Amino acid sequence: MITRPREDAGRTAELVAALGFTPIVAPFMVVRHFAPAQPENLQAILVTSGNALAGLKLIAAPLLAVGDATADKAQKAGFTDVHSAGRDAAALVILARRLARPDGGPLLLACGARQGLAVAAALRGLGFSVVRRVTYAAAPVRRFPAGARSALLADALHAALFLSAETASAFVRALPAPLAPRLAHVCALAIGKIAADALEPLPWREVRVAREPNLDSVLALL
């Protein structure tokens, strides 16, 4: 079961199918996109998620992506000077420190609502001028997805993938109590400890945590 927002689930489903599993797309978050004003004379754009790209204008400044999947998505969106931090938010700060200069103009940090605050603070602590812009917001679904319900009722589910703590929390809140015992045969695969902690109250067969906070590491848990 792929719990990602529908915009992100397609590629994940392809990768899951390539591993020999049948993907069940059951989004537990809905994404809304925004197109905020962008400052002029940017030194670089920093992107914390592939979802943050939709509200950005194509400009010639380098784009620094949090990971390889986001970098690939940026290139497909038309950005030509793209660099990947290859891991997480901390790696993104390191990449910015290597490729940008504190006196070289502002950095635009594109992120989700309530996200990116630690990245902005770390960069400002290094002397950079950072303009943070919220380009998307994710909200939990109101109803437990039909595909997830059917798979649980049929005892057909091997594993459930959770690529964010927010998605994990949304699943826990949305799960109807009568379905909880059905999780006894399902492995929960979490991108990090915070997501795993959110899932722990449920009676999973096992909760596994990825070695690295990225999709490849989550899929390796299969």
pTM of the model: 0.81
Same domain, 117 and 189: no
Same domain, 15 and 48: no
Q: Find the mean pLDDT for residues 119-124.
A: 97
Decide which of 138, 162, 196 is a domain's last residue: 138
Q: What is the CATH number of the domain that holds 51?
A: 3.40.50.10090
3-state secondary structure the chain: CECCCHHHHHHHHHHHHHCCCCCCECCCEEEEECCCCCCCCCCEEEECCHHHHCCCCCCCCCEEECCHHHHHHHHHHCCCCEEECCCCHHHHHHHHHHHCCCCCCCEEEEEECCCCHHHHHHHHHCCCCEEEEEEEEEEECCCCCHHHHHHHHCCCCCEEEECCHHHHHHHHHHCCHHHHHHHHHCEEEECCHHHHHHHCCCCCCEEEECCCCCHHHHHHCC
Tell me, yes or no, whether 45 lies in a domain: yes
Same domain, 154 and 183: yes
- What digits encode the pLDDT tens for the residues 48-105? 998 999 889 988 899 999 988 899 999 999 999 999 998 889 999 999 999 999 999 9
Domain count, the chain: 2
Tell me, yes or no, whether 64 lies in a domain: yes
Q: Which domain holds residue 47?
A: 32-138
pLDDT value at residue 87:
82
